[in-house]
């Protein structure tokens, strides 16, 4: 059935600015076919969805997480980074079963829907579990099997083959795959070069963790005499636009190299703060014109998947550390979680925007929520006032996955049982 959303306020992006306009929205076969009522075939039938007192906006795009780690939420907190990773998370991660990974994904998606996320970029460890869960829930996914090694065709081969066969088996309209080398401390420069060649040959997106901590930077300088970003540039990994999570420790030409390559920085303010890794030079990225996106990182290092909280943190942290209230405006933050993310995913005009021809990935915000009232500035309220609890409905690929905060595709009872 085709959907006509009536009476809503729409968040429209035009010429670099978000505005709010009252128009009907027409959705057919998963795509927005009209904003207003132009070009509507009079023979088409429409199911009316009444959305008075709702803001209808593009679903949020979480550009970096590890959804399978939900079972480790709040498992290891308030301890040093090395202890967190090597003594607590790594051994616990080794105990995760495929069944737990699947259930963890479902719980993460439920949290994402309830806080307005419709697309996520995932790096995982369990072949088939992320795409199967994503398919069941109806979320839009960009998935990458975490790759590690010195040589992609030797010690890295089994994981690489897993990544390719997973794509072969599960790719669909809503589920896409990426190549995801883990980080410079688990993959050699040669490995990054090989992954870059494979990504180009196969037309795949690339994602990695980059310069997350001081230790990563100093170890890399010691071992290779270059920063992690310089290695990414030299190995060709930045070419064609890679998705670079964290980018906290930048030095020298790093920002210019990222900007020159057209790659995307995904900042993860909560994760970087929680793990004591510091703050990425986000205003430096913005000033240089780098495409900036936002991610939560996994539930073990954040500990939520709530992008509204992340949006607020992004803006407030950088206003605070730069002592500049004009830094990271609400408009810039909204762009990071919508149109900038679409650009990084090579889906400009299709994702993260309400316009004719775009995919119908939409969330409804209840404008009668006390936290959003009165509506002096709706764009501001999304960045500074919303907590995610104001999201009432979620549509992905033209289908409702949540109505009146009721999840339609996820049964949490079983998933909770598996990971409790």
Chain residues in the site for Zn ion (CB under 5 A): 297
E strand segments, 230-371? 243-246, 264-267, 291-294, 362-366
| Nearer of residues 115 and 268 to Zn ion, judged by Cβ | 268
- The distance of closest approach from Cβ of residue 298 to Zn ion in the complex, given in angstroms and rounded to an integer, is 6
- The distance of closest approach from Cβ of residue 47 to Zn ion in the complex, given in angstroms and rounded to an integer, is 40
Residue nearest to Zn ion (CB): 297
- The distance of closest approach from Cβ of residue 245 to Zn ion in the complex, given in angstroms and rounded to an integer, is 5
List of long-range contacts for 333-337, beta carbons under 8 Å, 24+ apart: 333/294, 333/383, 334/11, 334/18, 334/379, 334/382, 334/383, 335/13, 335/16, 335/18, 336/292, 336/293, 336/294, 336/311, 337/60, 337/61, 337/62, 337/293, 337/294, 337/307, 337/311
What is the distance between the alpha carbons of residues 332 and 366, in angstroms, rounded to a whole number?
22
| Nearer of residues 126 and 364 to Zn ion, judged by Cβ | 126
Task: Compute CA distances 128 → 165, 179, 345, whole Å.
Answer: 9, 15, 21
What is the distance between the alpha carbons of residues 70 and 120, in angstroms, rounded to a whole number?
14
Q: Which residues, at least 6 apart from 415, have a Cβ–Cβ distance to it below 8 Å? A: 103, 104, 106, 107, 110
- The distance of closest approach from Cβ of residue 64 to Zn ion in the complex, given in angstroms and rounded to an integer, is 6
User: Between helices 412-419 and 98-114, what is the axis angle to 10°?
Assistant: 130
| Nearer of residues 297 and 310 to Zn ion, judged by Cβ | 297
What is the distance between the alpha carbons of residues 391 and 113, in angstroms, rounded to a whole number?
8
The torsion angle over the Cα atoms of residues 184, 309, 136 and 209, rounded to 10 degrees, is 0
- The distance of closest approach from Cβ of residue 268 to Zn ion in the complex, given in angstroms and rounded to an integer, is 7
| Nearer of residues 302 and 397 to Zn ion, judged by Cβ | 302
Structural tokens at position 174 = 């809503």
- The distance of closest approach from Cβ of residue 323 to Zn ion in the complex, given in angstroms and rounded to an integer, is 29
| Nearer of residues 254 and 297 to Zn ion, judged by Cβ | 297
- The distance of closest approach from Cβ of residue 265 to Zn ion in the complex, given in angstroms and rounded to an integer, is 14
DSSP state, residue 72: G
| Nearer of residues 307 and 359 to Zn ion, judged by Cβ | 307
- The distance of closest approach from Cβ of residue 116 to Zn ion in the complex, given in angstroms and rounded to an integer, is 21
Of 21, 43, 25, 47, which Cα lies nearest the Cα of 34? 25
User: Between helices 157-170 and 129-137, what is the axis angle to 10°?
Assistant: 20
- The distance of closest approach from Cβ of residue 183 to Zn ion in the complex, given in angstroms and rounded to an integer, is 9
Structural tokens at position 351 = 């994702």
| Nearer of residues 327 and 337 to Zn ion, judged by Cβ | 337
| Nearer of residues 89 and 199 to Zn ion, judged by Cβ | 89
| Nearer of residues 297 and 361 to Zn ion, judged by Cβ | 297
Of 357, 242, 353, which Cα lies nearest the Cα of 18? 353
Using an 8 Å Cβ cutoff, are 294 and 324 in contact?
Answer: no
Structural tokens at position 201 = 């040959």
What is the distance between the alpha carbons of residues 107 and 105, in angstroms, rounded to a whole number?
5
- CB count within 10 Å of CB 234 equals 15
| Nearer of residues 68 and 170 to Zn ion, judged by Cβ | 68
- The distance of closest approach from Cβ of residue 351 to Zn ion in the complex, given in angstroms and rounded to an integer, is 21
């Amino acid at each position: 059935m085709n959907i006509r959303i009536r009476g809503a306020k729409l968040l429209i992006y035009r010429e670099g600015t978000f505005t709010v306009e009252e128009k009907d929205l027409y959705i057919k076969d998963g795509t927005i076919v009209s904003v207003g009522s132009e070009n509507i075939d009079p023979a088409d039938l429409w199911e009316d969805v009444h959305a008075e007192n709702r803001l209808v906006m593009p679903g949020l795009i979480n550009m970096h997480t590890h959804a399978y780690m939900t079972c480790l939420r709040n498992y290891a907190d308030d301890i040093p980074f090395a202890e967190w990773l090597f003594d607590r998370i790594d051994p616990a991660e080794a105990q995760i079963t495929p069944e737990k990974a699947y259930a963890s994904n479902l719980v993460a998606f439920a949290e994402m829907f309830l806080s307005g996320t419709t697309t996520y970029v995932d790096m995982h460890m369990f072949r088939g579990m992320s795409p199967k869960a994503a398919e069941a829930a109806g979320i839009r996914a960009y998935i990458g099997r975490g790759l590690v090694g010195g040589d992609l065709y030797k010690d890295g081969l089994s994981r690489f083959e897993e990544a390719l066969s997973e794509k072969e088996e599960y790719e669909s309209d809503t589920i896409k795959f990426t190549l995801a080398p883990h980080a410079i401390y688990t993959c050699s420069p040669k490995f990054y070069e090989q992954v870059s060649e494979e990504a180009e040959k196969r037309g795949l997106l690339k994602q990695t963790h980059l310069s997350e901590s001081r230790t990563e930077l100093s170890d890399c300088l010691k071992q290779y005499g270059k920063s992690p970003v310089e290695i990414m540039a030299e190995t060709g990994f930045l070419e064609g636009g890679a998705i670079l999570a964290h980018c906290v420790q930048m030095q020298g030409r790093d920002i210019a190299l990222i900007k020159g390559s057209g790659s995307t920085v995904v900042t993860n303010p909560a994760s970087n703060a929680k793990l004591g890794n510091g703050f990425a030079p986000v205003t430096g990225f913005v000033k240089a014109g780098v495409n900036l996106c936002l991610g939560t990182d996994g539930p073990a290092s954040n500990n939520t998947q709530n992008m509204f909280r992340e949006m607020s943190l992004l803006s407030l942290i950088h206003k605070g550390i730069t002592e500049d209230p004009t830094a990271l405006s609400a408009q810039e933050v909204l762009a990071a979680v919508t149109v900038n993310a679409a650009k990084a995913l090579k889906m400009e005009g299709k994702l993260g925007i309400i316009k004719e021809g775009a995919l119908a990935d939409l969330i409804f915000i209840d404008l009668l929520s006390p936290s959003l009232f009165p509506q002096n500035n709706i764009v501001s309220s999304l960045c500074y006032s919303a907590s995610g609890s104001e999201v009432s409905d979620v549509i992905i690929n033209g289908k409702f996955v949540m109505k009146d905060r009721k999840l339609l595709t996820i049964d949490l009872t079983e998933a909770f049982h598996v990971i409790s």
